[in-house]
Amino acid sequence: MRLLDSDLQAIQEVRSSLAEAKAAQKQLEKLTQQQVDRIIAAMAAAAEEHAERLGLLAVEETGFGKPADKKAKNLFVARDVYASIKEMKTVGIIGKDEARQIWEVAQPVGVVAAIVPSTNPTSTVLFKCMIALKARNAIVISPHPSALRCSQETAKLMRHSAEEAGAPPGLIHCLSVPSIEACGELMKHRLTDVILATGGAGMVKAAYSSGKPAYGVGPGNVPVFVHRSADIPRAVSRILQSKTFDYGTICASEQAIVADQPIKSRLVEELKRQGAYLLNEREKRQIAELILRGNGLNPRIVGKSPQAIADMAGISVPLETSVLVAEEKGVGLDYPFSVEKLSPILALYTVNDCLEGGRLCTELLELGGLGHTLGIHCGDEAVIEAFGLELPASRIIVNAGTTFGGIGATTGILPSMTLGCGAYGGNITSDNIGPQHLMNLKRVAFGIRDMQVEHEAAERLARQVIGTRQLGISREEVLDIVKSVLSQMKLG
């Protein structure tokens, strides 16, 4: 394979960024907790101040989503993520377990290689910079080519605010020439210590194949089961609010409603009443043709309004339409509504009971979101428990929108823009990622008990007894007697 000049230039940039980042990280490592916390506070404040501007840039450049919601995602990082990591100890001895006599010492991993999705190109950069530096790491970001400028601008803001607050220069880099080769070089280079990769399945595979420790977190295809015991108006309002947020670009947003038969017609009425548009068979076919491009998702519909998508398909929908809904029966690439759509389009399935519901949700997760997120609207705790125990999702969000629930904005889950899919999804963790994943814990462990070497002690005693030659019994019998005496002494 021959590389173009621009590729060589990109690879050179990766190497120089990593070298600078490595040197700066060595300096950062020497700062106190107070100094690190001051830097993170400054980064959060800058993120808050520029949330709107960066959100707008992201929409202008990628054409995905809504400015107000991109701003909200940036604010979520600046406020919620910041609040959750603010008090976290990440320097020196961060815990002393008196009972077990263990001290835990925080050790940064070094340089983080961060891969960022095109769907959250500013919020994920803010997020990864903050959690990397909080754990005293440097970071080199590989942006998506369609979000190059806004990701770069965000990284620049993070770098300036960190440096102004006392961070060593050169801790944060964002590549200016995105190329698959450069991204590969970044992931494999000896100066990279850990990969933090957020995106689709292909990229996650590339991250895990690099030979470096990697947190690769993959795509979602979130089903939401609405049980007969659910509060229907409330469930519908939560689902629609969640699904319309940023025109459906969050990986945890609902992709399919799985309705329990007895409440199906009430659910449909409520969906219509609250602004969803139910596609007829002809309209459904027209939209279906738009969803896939080859075997992948068509970027033209990603993060677009329902009206724009309807326009593309040559149909017209009311101005107030918030989501396009199509009744679907099958699951797989032959049924385009069943895939992750990253847009305000929902599939609607009907099942006879929760057993069938659980099976269908599993099929949908298996199609493209294994281990990611599942929603359930239900008033029956036994059903919730069964879904929690049996379904292959790392986050089971109950009576809340999955977009906000999954990222930890409306649930008690750790606020994060990077959601692990566990072994189900081929990921190393099912956690929401935070600074704790970007540091190693060293353990200083004191001796607290003597090793019991009963067998050896018994052998020794038995040998002594046999040595006196005054007993008419075998060596084995003597050994048993000694062992039993020793164990009784221990019990006493």
Per CB under 6 A, the list member of 55, 108, 168, 219 interacting with ligand NAI is 219
Cβ neighbour number for residue 454 with a 10 Å cutoff: 12
Q: Exposed, middle or buried, 64 (CB in 10 Å: 0-12/13-18/19+)?
A: buried
What is d(CA 432, CA 417) in angstroms, rounded to the nearest whole number?
8
Per CB under 6 A, the list member of 25, 74, 90, 119 interacting with ligand NAI is 119
Find, among 327, 338, 257, the residue nearest to 291 by Cα. 338
Residue-level length of the chain: 492
Q: From the list ligand ACO, ligand NAI, none, which binds 217 (C-beta under 5 to 8 Å, kind-based)?
A: ligand NAI
For ligand ACO, the binding residues (CB under 6 A) are 118, 142, 144-146, 178-180, 183, 200-201, 219, 295-297, 299, 302, 339-340, 342, 368
Considering the rule CB under 6 A, would residue 120 count as an interface residue with ligand NAI? yes
Taking residues 28 to 67 in sequence order and writing x for each that binds ligand NAI by CB under 6 A, - otherwise, the string is ----------------------------------------
CB 234 to ligand ACO: min, Å: 29
- Cα Dmax for the chain: 106
129 contacts 139 by C-beta, under 8 angstroms? yes
Considering the rule CB under 6 A, would residue 340 count as an interface residue with ligand NAI? yes
CA atoms within 13 A on the CB side of 213: 13
Cα 241–Cα 242–Cα 243 angle in degrees, nearest 5? 95
Three-state secondary structure call for residue 441: strand
For the CA atoms of the chain, what is the radius of gyration? 28
Cα 371–Cα 377–Cα 383 angle in degrees, nearest 5? 75
- The amino acid at residue 230 is A
What is d(CA 207, CA 214) in angstroms, rounded to the nearest whole number?
6
State both tokens at 182.
């450069």
Binding footprint of ligand NAI, residue count (CB under 6 A): 26
What is d(CA 94, CA 49) in angstroms, rounded to the nearest whole number?
31
Residue nearest to ligand ACO (CB): 200
Q: From the list ligand ACO, ligand NAI, none, which binds 218 (C-beta under 5 to 8 Å, kind-based)?
A: ligand NAI
Per CB under 6 A, the list member of 55, 110, 168, 218 interacting with ligand NAI is 218
CB 290 to ligand NAI: min, Å: 17
Q: Of residues 183, 251, 354, 378, which has the active-site annotation?
A: 251
Three-state secondary structure call for residue 102: strand
Residue nearest to ligand NAI (CB): 199
**Across 338-445, where does the E strand assignment appear?**
345-351, 371-377, 393-398, 439-445
CB 210 to ligand ACO: min, Å: 14
Q: From the list ligand ACO, ligand NAI, none, which binds 339 (C-beta under 5 to 8 Å, kind-based)?
A: ligand ACO
**Paired sense of beta strands 194-198 and 111-115, if any:** parallel
CB 217 to ligand NAI: min, Å: 4
Cα 234–Cα 236–Cα 241 angle in degrees, nearest 5? 95
- Binding residues among 132-191 for ligand NAI as defined by CB under 6 A: 142-144, 180, 183-184
CB 117 to ligand NAI: min, Å: 3
- The amino acid at residue 115 is I
What is d(CA 132, CA 155) in angstroms, rounded to the nearest whole number?
12
Alpha-carbon separation of residue 249 from 120, 263, 344 (angstroms)? 8, 28, 8
- The residues pairing with 323 across neighbouring beta strands, listed in sequence order, are 276
Per CB under 6 A, the list member of 115, 224, 259, 324 interacting with ligand NAI is 115
Active site includes 378?
no
Return the number of the residue (129 or 302) whose C-beta is nearest ligand ACO: 302
Return the number of the residue (63 or 67) whose C-beta is nearest ligand ACO: 63
Q: From the list ligand NAI, ligand ACO, none, which binds 419 (C-beta under 5 to 8 Å, kind-based)?
A: ligand NAI
CB 297 to ligand NAI: min, Å: 8
Considering the rule CB under 6 A, would residue 91 count as an interface residue with ligand NAI? no
Considering the rule CB under 6 A, would residue 309 count as an interface residue with ligand NAI? no
Return the number of the residue (180 or 398) whose C-beta is nearest ligand NAI: 180
- Binding residues among 396-425 for ligand NAI as defined by CB under 6 A: 418-419
Q: Which residues bind to ligand NAI, rule: CB under 6 A?
A: 115-120, 142-144, 180, 183-184, 198-200, 202-203, 206, 217-220, 251, 340, 418-419
List, by residue number, the catalytic residues.
251
